[in-house]
Every structure is written in structure tokens, then in C-alpha cells.
Amino acid sequence: MNMNFKVVKVILLISIITGCSEDFLKVEPQNKYLSNNFFVSDNQVFQGLVAAYDPLQWTFVDGFWTSSVMLGEIMSDNANAGGDQSNFDQPGWQQIDDFTAVTTTPEATSFWKKNYYGINKANQVLNNVTITSNAVSQYQAEAKFLRAFYHFELFRLFGPVPVITSQPTPDDKSAKRNTMSEVFTQITKDLEEAIPLLPLSYSSEFAGRITKGAAQALLGKVYLYWGDLKNDDVALFDKAALNLKAVVTSNQYTLVDDYAQLFAFGAANTSESVFEIQYSNEVPADFGTPFEFINGNMIVQLCGIRGLCTSHPLYNPGWGFMLPTSGLYNSYLADDLYRREATIVSQIELALVGCNVNLADQNPVDFQGYWQQKYANFKSYTVPNGGEINVLKDANQPVIRYADVLLMLAEALARGTGSDAEAMTYIDIVRERAKGPGNNTGNFKTGSTLMSEQGWTILQLIWYERRAELAGEGDRWFDLVRSGRATASLFPNGDIRSTNFNIQKIYLPIPQREIDLTSGGLTAYPDPSLFQ
């Protein structure tokens, strides 16, 4: 991670005793540290915390690409899987895109492993520490945020999942899905306990570490999801608003003036960054090393423009995944083209600079003339890891931006007991920036005007803003699921997803290995009764 952190790997040496002499059996332990004697200094607790942060940046787990950004776009109406012309490139991702994933789809296993590995590392910091200090209290608060975040990611991917807050024993095979309320209760408990112990900010050398604002924003987001999935629970929306408002009134964040600069080359930890995953790309990325420790951002190469000419002045060619749909391209209103141009690059635009692609030879059948460009494959990137996998870049991944906070706050106010007028002020802050750089006061359509023109409710306005503002960033599918808008009607006739859509498969299936290990205690998909 981009924090001068170094991941600590504690290696346990196992001696195999083959002799029968009593003296031979009296061997001094070869391990320097065990789990029960490692966390005995502030520095060692910090090292354990770094290990808990590390899975955030894993993008290649056991030989398979993992990206919740890509999943959140291609399962939705925003994008198709893409790949090469065969349409069978990365078959697991094609299954996820087409709603045909099964319990043996390897990408589902990789998502499961990555997040539970992170939970395990956070639990070690929370359960094995034997000392107290102000520093340790903060480190454990960060670990609680991480445990909450990993559980939340698992919920968004798999539905209600097992809540793990202690170290399971090797013979413990009793895991089962918790209810939605049990999952969210643990997540909110961790975050509420963490918030008072976290700082408002860090020095630049520790960019990316969890702040009070990041924890408040995630807590607000969790309450928003919980309220949505719990039959529009007004009290939960009010809790969301309370925490999201605290982020706003902290005065720690402002919108970047130029929307197009949010994902420009070198953009990282901007004034708009509330929670952002750092990619160090420092560990050599070789196919012979443990795949989970590859910590470059795969999405840059994986989702770059396939077949792009090598003479393009800004971009290198990529592998053509996460292809925006014409539906997304056409969803932007006429006064919202600045955001569209910063999000999507079209075949026509490339032709204008003399750098078109060979559609017949390079792009798959689900290509509709567009590529994403928030994670552009800039020529300016270097590949510092020196490993065999030379396509991993160090572009960061914004997880919660301040614009997202403003729109979530507007939604929580509108759906709770808050004021629609106050909600509209936060929507208009986002809309003013969307018009382009500079002060656009009096030169943009307010949310109220747009509602009147389109015949929208305030909630429909918010849904439009979330799609336009966050397209290509991975929230679209999860917004659709939580709000009950994930249906076959999202996809046009002829799109295989309109035929394959199955309400059960709005979540990934739990891996078969986990089902087998628990003798069926874990089910592939969540029963509706768990959403209580």
C-alpha cells in the first residue's frame, strides 16, 4: 500500500521428528514468533494491521482476476464483460456477466477467499493483542473498520454471509449464513466503536489509512443499504443521514473542481477522496509466487481499449473488458455530456484522432462501440514490480468519494424524516460540478428544474445522479440490487442477460468447497428468510 507499509509474513517452521531418542525430542523451538506471542509491542501490532490492509489491493487471487469495480458494472446495465472476439475470454467473468455463474466459478472463490483472508487478519489484531496504548487503540479501530468493510463487501457479493469475529479452529465446520440483520449489526457495531478512536486525517506518507470520515461514510452507506433492504426503514435512513452529515460538517473534503481530473494520470488521494485503496505494486508479480500477494491494479490493463493503435498519444492498448453499453452512453442527458466524456471513450472519438480499432478482429460480440476510460491505460504508467506479470499498474481505486457521500446523504434525507429541500442542496452541489470546471452558479440545471422537465420524483433524480456520477466505478449493480430495481427489464431484448436473469442469481454463489466443508451448512444462494 502507498503508506510506507511493509507486509509482515510470519513464517512458522515445522520440525518433523523421526528419531526416538529422548534427547533428540528435546528440541528448542525454531519459530521466533507464534500467534500467541507476536503482538507484544506497538510496532508488532502495527505490522499486523498492515497485513490486514493488504488484501484490499489483491487483484489476482489464486490465478483469477478479482475486482468488485468490474463486477459492479458488468452485472448491471452499464457494461458487458468484453474480452477477445471469441466472447469466451475469461470464462468465469463471462458467467458472472451472463448470470450463469455456478459454485465452481473460480472468480467467486477468489472474492470469497480475499475478503475472509482480510477478516482473519483483522481478527488477529483484535483478538491476539496483549498490550494497551493509545497507538494500539487506534490500530484496533482501523482493524475494526477493515473487518466491517470486508464483511460488507462479502454481503454485497454473496448476500447474508457468516459473520466471523474470532479465529475458527481447523475442525470447526459449523459455519452457516447469518441473517442480514446479524451481518449489519456486527458491521455497524465495529464502525461505531472505531469512529471515536480514528483521526480526521494523516500526513501524506500515510495516505490511505482509515480516517474518522471514512468510517462515518461507510457507516452511513451500510445504514442506507440496511434501510433499503429492510422495507424502507425510516429509522435506518435517519441513522445513515446522521453519519453522512458528519462527514460533510467535518469540512475535511471538497469536490475536485474538474470532474475529468478525478481519474487523470497520477490522480490519487484528492480532496474528494474519503476512502481510497492504495496500490503499491511493490511485490514482484510472477506466476510462480502466491497469486494473492500480487498487489497492482489489474483493472487498468484488463479494461483498456482492445486493438488500440500503438500511436495513440495518451493510451496503450488493453484487453477490452468492462465495455460500456449504448444504454449507459445514451442515458446521459443533453446537459450532462461533460461527465459522459470523462467516463466513456467511443469508437468515433478514436477515429477522429486517426486511431480506430479493427472491430472485426479485436472486439467481442457484446462490444457496442464504447470503452471505459476512468481506469485508462496511460502510456505514462511505469511497471515498477519487475515481475512476469508486467501489466499491473499502481492506479488507486476510489471506494467512497465525497460526491458519493453528498448523493447518499441526499437519499437518506429524502427517504428518512429529513427535508427534501436540504437533500436538493447536496444534489445541486454535485450537479454544478458536473457542468465542467469553474463556477457554474446560474449556468446549470438544478435538480428541481430537471425533476420538472423529466417528471421525476426526487428519488428518481438521485438514481440518475448516482448512475451518471459513479458510472464505471462499481456501484451501479449494488444500487440496483438494494433498491429492488435489479430485474430482467434492465436489459434490452436480445441481450442474453434478459433471458438468463434469475432473481436468485443477483448474488454470487458461495464456492462449492465451502459448501462441502460445512456438509451443506452453507448454501449456494441465500434463502429469502435471511433478509430480516
SS (H, E, C) 384-397: CCCCCCCCCECCCE
State the CATH number of the domain containing residue 138.
1.25.40.390
Give domain status of residue 169, yes or no. yes
Q: What's the CA gap between 125 and 142, in Å, rounded?
A: 10
Q: What's the CA gap between 165 and 175, in Å, rounded?
A: 12
Residue pair 292/113 in contact by the 8 Å Cβ criterion: yes
Give, in order, the Cα–Cα distances in Å from 302 to each of 89, 120, 340, 477: 11, 29, 21, 20
Give domain status of residue 438, yes or no. yes
Give domain status of residue 392, yes or no. no
Grid cell for residue 100 = 450463469
Indicate the SS3 state at residue 87. Answer: coil
pLDDT digits (tens, 9 = 90+) for 446-503: 999 999 999 999 999 999 999 999 999 999 999 999 999 999 999 999 999 999 999 9
**Positive or negative, the Cα torsion across 429, 446, 467, 242?**
positive
Indicate the SS3 state at residue 527. Answer: coil
DSSP 8-state assignment for residue 523: -
Q: Give the count of beta carbons closer than 10 Å to the beta carbon of residue 264.
A: 14
Query: 469540512: which residue's cell?
Result: 251
pLDDT value at residue 23: 42
Give domain status of residue 278, yes or no. yes
Grid cell for residue 460 = 428518481
Give domain status of residue 274, yes or no. yes
Give domain status of residue 327, yes or no. no
pTM, two decimals, is 0.92
Give domain status of residue 291, yes or no. no
Residue pair 43/60 in contact by the 8 Å Cβ criterion: no
pLDDT value at residue 7: 37
- CA 327-478-393 angle, 5° bins: 80
pLDDT value at residue 459: 98
DSSP 8-state assignment for residue 200: S
Residue pair 195/187 in contact by the 8 Å Cβ criterion: no
Region of 442 on the Ramachandran plot (φ > 0 left; ψ -120 to 50 alpha; else beta): left
- CA 93-466-400 angle, 5° bins: 75
pLDDT tens sequence for the chain (532 residues): 444 443 333 322 222 223 333 443 344 444 566 566 789 999 999 999 999 999 999 888 888 889 999 999 999 999 999 998 777 899 999 999 999 999 999 999 999 999 999 999 999 999 999 999 999 999 999 999 999 999 999 999 999 999 999 988 777 888 999 999 999 999 999 999 999 999 999 999 999 999 999 999 999 999 999 999 999 999 999 999 999 999 999 999 999 999 999 999 999 999 999 999 998 777 666 666 655 666 788 899 999 998 888 889 899 999 999 999 999 999 999 999 999 999 999 988 887 787 866 665 677 788 898 999 999 999 998 776 656 666 778 889 999 999 999 999 999 999 999 999 999 999 999 999 999 999 999 999 999 999 999 999 999 999 999 999 999 999 999 999 999 999 999 999 999 999 999 999 999 999 999 999 999 999 999 999 999 9
pLDDT value at residue 394: 82
Q: For the chain, what is the domain count?
A: 1
170 half-sphere exposure, CB direction, 13 A CA radius: 0
% of the chain at pLDDT higher than 90: 74
Closest CA to 183 of 212, 217, 225: 225
Give domain status of residue 103, yes or no. yes
Domain limits for position 408: 22-282+397-486+502-530
Query: 472485426: which residue's cell?
Result: 360
Q: What's the CA gap between 242 and 413, in Å, rounded?
A: 9
Give, in order, the Cα–Cα distances in Å from 230 to each of 215, 237, 290, 292: 22, 10, 40, 35
- What lies within 8 Å, CB to CB, of 197 at 6+ separation is 137, 138, 140, 141
Q: What's the CA gap between 287 and 370, in Å, rounded?
A: 31
Query: 493503435: which residue's cell?
Result: 309
Q: What's the CA gap between 45 and 39, in Å, rounded?
A: 5
Q: What pairing do the DSSP bridges indicate for beta strands 370-372 and 344-346?
A: antiparallel
pLDDT value at residue 294: 66
